[in-house]
Chain A
Amino acid sequence: MIGRRIGGRYEVLHSIGDGGMSKVYLAHDVILDRDVAIKVLNYEFANEEELKRRFLREALSATSLTHPNIVNIFDVGEDGELHYLVMEYVEGQTLKKYILEHGPLSPEQALPIMRQLVSAIANAHHNGIVHRDVKPQNILMDAEGNVKITDFGIAMALSATSHTKTNSVIGTVHYLSPEQARGGMATKKSDIYSLGIVFYELLSGELPFSAETAVAIALKHLQEETPSIREKFPSIPQSVENVILKATAKDALHRYRSADEMYEDLLTVLEPERAQEEKFGIPYDDDQTRVIPIIKEKAVREEDHEVTKKMEPIQPATPAEPVKKKRKKWPIFLGVSIGIIALLAALLFIPGILRPKQAIIPDVSNMNEVEASDALVEEGFVIERSIEQPSEEIEAGNVIRTVPEAGKERDVGTPITLYISTGKEKIPMSDYVGRDFTQVANLLAGYDFLSIDEPIEEFSDEDPGTILKQDPAPGEEVVPSETVIAFTISKGKDMRTLGDLRGLDRNQLKEYEKSSGFTIRDAGSEHSSTVQEGHVISQQPEKGASLQKGSLVDVIFSKGPPKKPVKLHVRTIIIPYEPEVTNQPDTEEDEAETGTETEQPKPPQTVRIYIQDRKHSIKDVFVEFTITETTKRQIQIELEEGQSGAYQVKRDDEVIEEKTFSYDDE
């Protein structure tokens, strides 16, 4: 095979696996110039036309799957006697090998693997494809820990050959669901079962059921409870064990309803608040009486045995009891009716025939329970019991069907079982708040909800797309086909664009604060030669910034242009001493002349200085003093820009000097 070119384009490079029914080679696709994995079937299809058709059908349907965790199938073909599948080449190993080398894994290691697997299977299920043979041998893992499932549908298609096969070549039955072991159709629930077994194997490194022969293993799948993983690994949380127990419930009805539901569970299974969950037990439910048609003696005993340890005992041996309770209003009525019938019958038939008369069972579907019972009793039948079950078509409280069915001829007195509708099947809404909308919408697409509304978007601190509110509320029981789901999702934080605040005054800012939703804070003021006083000079953050509603914006106001420094004008003034000469000047002169000058007192003169500057007004006396001789005095005039200053010197009320000057004067 090595070196051969298959289908004119795939050059076989080397062998990478051998799976009993097939061999896998690495090949190079010369047309697309890429490496591919090519699976060559070991099988001779000669005279197995049906098998061949089935194989092709399954393989082709699997080509429609596109998912990161599903191995892509590129091509299906035959080349002479050779049948092959061309697939994406995944460099890595099988999950089986990984478990052998690394198992047992911790829940933290196993969960990412499980999530990938369950999401892949969920995707296939949405596309109507059941894998039928989920096992680690069919799962490839690359170096990054990404896993991809391969062989959708085909493994089991191939095993359906009419050729006898021995123990050594039949595929593994370690992951086979009970219904498959019995030879029933593999359903989506069968894949869920197998996923549960894979999860067990990841966490324990071992298989839950093993025995020497395939059939002995199959029997264990049918008869033995899935062993408790916590017995071996008590550190594993109960919530994690519950995933295994629920997925591998013997009765498919008790498993996850869908791979989606399992996926959801896996998302939260490690959350600390779930660690103390109660151990999964098979719920006991009246309705279930209808779906456990035969319970083998042996199985019953085994289950009872197991169940004594659990909180919710299953009592399959007495399924009729709770049903009887439901019709407690009937016995009297029925008793009377039957009495009447018996009387009538006696009157009618005593003379001759003693063999039971036959009657046709009337069609009582859609009647309510009373009408239906009347109609049946009228024909001479006995109502044996009523069983409630959901129905998509029949209104709650009305009869769905009878057993034996309408139209059948039966002896008078034949017990009839009524099936009463409880209305459409209700399911509890999960809590989706906090989850991503797109993800949830995909998930919900798997249920037949009437519709999922366009989500209402609201601002919130949650990441965009996160579900904030849901309607119906979590836990509410709803009929999917009648339920419209409405979600409110986050469109992220309320981000607004900050405007240009520069130039606005305080009143305008108040207006802006209202209209914008931002909070504006006065961060002080500065001089500005360009911005009018009281208006905004600058802002922080800058205009155009994208801010959450309510964000703080700092603004700095102008206090007008900056002032120039105060100028100090210093003037030295000389105040001459010039006393007034009066009528005694002669004497005084004489005295002076006579040399007694020093003795002669000089009359003091009063000097007042007035200053006009930044601190003083010309009207007020700056300083007042008296002189008896010519005096020098220094005065200082401080001027701010634009001010003008002046001084005035008065001596004995006479202005002797006066000057004005401006800031700019030197």
Chain B
Amino acid sequence: MRFEVLTDIGRKRTVNEDGAAVYTLPDGTLLAVIADGMGGHRGGDYASRMTIRLMGEQFMNIQLDQLKTDEDWKEWLLESVFYVNRYLFNKASADEQYKGMGTTLDAVLIRGSDCQIVHAGDSRVYQLNQKDVKQITKDHSYVNVLLENGEITEEQAANHPQRNWIMKAVGSERRIDPDLYEVDLTEDTFLLLCTDGLSNKLDEQTIHKIIHADGTLREKVVQLVQMANKMGGEDNISVILIGPDDMEVKQP
């Protein structure tokens, strides 16, 4: 698998509260983490930064011989999120400066063609094939719940004054109950992790078009971010694009 990570402050904000990173183990196991921090004076920046770092540390310290089945890995993912949640929540409770902080979190674990995703908040993971694009994660946002319950329309959701309210965030409450997803990767699967700085600006068709256009992974992520900035760039924009190994490079 190849990947590209790009995080951009956007055009309006003075702080980048997003964080994104990809970690790999010697056996090729890969963990991609993206986080969109929020709240408090310094909290947002701290929450996302710490989440990326702590998830990375946990991952790098894995004893591979202890994790065998999918179930073990799932367990590990959840435990890691619980750990980060506790860490941030305690910090927020103890230090006034960090009160009210929290962060979205999407962590994508890839082992071969197995892919497990842990999710909290309104950052997204998309799965893209040649043909179509599919949003895997469900936004834990206020408006999304209302939308799913048929209380509001897509249009009302897009203009809802509380569209920035999210119902689940790492570090904001003592307990967290993240969603878990499993995806089978095929040879032409791209995975896109992004914060709402991107997904609020680009619809699925546009994303699909950019990702399936010619060009390197790097060019694609740059173009995604540029496009979001062109549309206003009010928020921080972060993307991780994971693509299949380039046949031509691999073949020789």
Closest CB in chain B relative to A554 CB, distance in Å: 77
SS class of chain B's interface: helix, strand, loop or mixed? loop
Tell me if B162 and A170 are in contact (CB < 8 A).
Answer: yes
Given contacts A47-B14, A182-B146, are A167 and B167 in contact (CB under 8 A)?
yes
Which of B138-188 touch A at CB < 8 Å? 142-143, 145-146, 149-152, 156-157, 159-169, 172-173
CA distance A118 to B100 in the complex (A): 33
Tell me if B164 and A165 are in contact (CB < 8 A).
Answer: yes
Tell me if A164 and B234 are in contact (CB < 8 A).
Answer: no
Indicate whether A20 reaches chain B with its CB closer than 8 angstroms.
yes
Contact among A165, A215, A216 with B39 in the assembled complex (CB-CB below 8 Å): A165
Residues of B near A213 (CB, < 8 A) are: 167
Contact among A42, A44, A167, A216 with B166 in the assembled complex (CB-CB below 8 Å): A167
Indicate whether A166 reaches chain B with its CB closer than 8 angstroms.
yes
Tell me if B12 and A164 are in contact (CB < 8 A).
Answer: no
Tell me if A165 and B38 are in contact (CB < 8 A).
Answer: yes
Select from chain A the residue with minimum beta-carbon distance to B161: A160
Residues of B near A160 (CB, < 8 A) are: 161
Tell me if A165 and B146 are in contact (CB < 8 A).
Answer: no
How many residue pairs link A and B with beta carbons under 8 A? The number is: 103
Size category of the binding interface on chain B: 35 or more
Select from chain A the residue with minimum beta-carbon distance to B170: A166
Given contacts A182-B151, A182-B152, A183-B160, are A165 and B165 in contact (CB under 8 A)?
yes
Interface digits, A128-161 against B, CB 8 Å rule (1 contact, 0 not)? 0000000000000000000000000000100111
Size category of the binding interface on chain A: 20 to 34
CA distance A166 to B121 in the complex (A): 9
Contact among A165, A168, A298 with B150 in the assembled complex (CB-CB below 8 Å): A298
CA distance A167 to B175 in the complex (A): 12
Which of A160-191 touch B at CB < 8 Å? 160-170, 181-184
Residues of B near A46 (CB, < 8 A) are: 14
Tell me if B151 and A219 are in contact (CB < 8 A).
Answer: yes
Indicate whether A659 reaches chain B with its CB closer than 8 angstroms.
no
Given contacts A182-B152, A214-B165, are A164 and B196 in contact (CB under 8 A)?
yes
Residues of A near B196 (CB, < 8 A) are: 164
Indicate whether A218 reaches chain B with its CB closer than 8 angstroms.
yes
Given contacts A47-B14, A219-B149, are A166 and B159 in contact (CB under 8 A)?
no
Select from chain B the residue with minimum beta-carbon distance to A219: B149
Tell me if B172 and A168 are in contact (CB < 8 A).
Answer: yes
CA distance A539 to B167 in the complex (A): 85
Residues of B near A159 (CB, < 8 A) are: 161-162
CA distance A156 to B165 in the complex (A): 13
CA distance A245 to B181 in the complex (A): 43
Indicate whether A222 reaches chain B with its CB closer than 8 angstroms.
yes
Closest CB in chain A relative to B208 CB, distance in Å: 25
CA distance A619 to B162 in the complex (A): 124
Task: Please list the residues of chain A having a beta carbon within 8 angstroms of any beta carbon in chain B.
Answer: 20, 42, 44, 46-47, 156, 159-170, 181-184, 213-216, 218-219, 222-223, 296, 298
Task: Please list the residues of chain B having a beta carbon within 8 angstroms of any beta carbon in chain A.
Answer: 12-14, 36, 38-39, 41, 44, 100-102, 104, 122, 142-143, 145-146, 149-152, 156-157, 159-169, 172-173, 196, 234-235
24 contacts between A and B (CB under 8 A): A20-B100, A46-B14, A159-B161, A161-B164, A162-B235, A165-B38, A166-B101, A166-B166, A167-B165, A167-B166, A167-B169, A167-B172, A169-B39, A170-B162, A170-B165, A182-B146, A182-B156, A182-B160, A183-B152, A183-B156, A183-B160, A214-B167, A218-B142, A223-B151
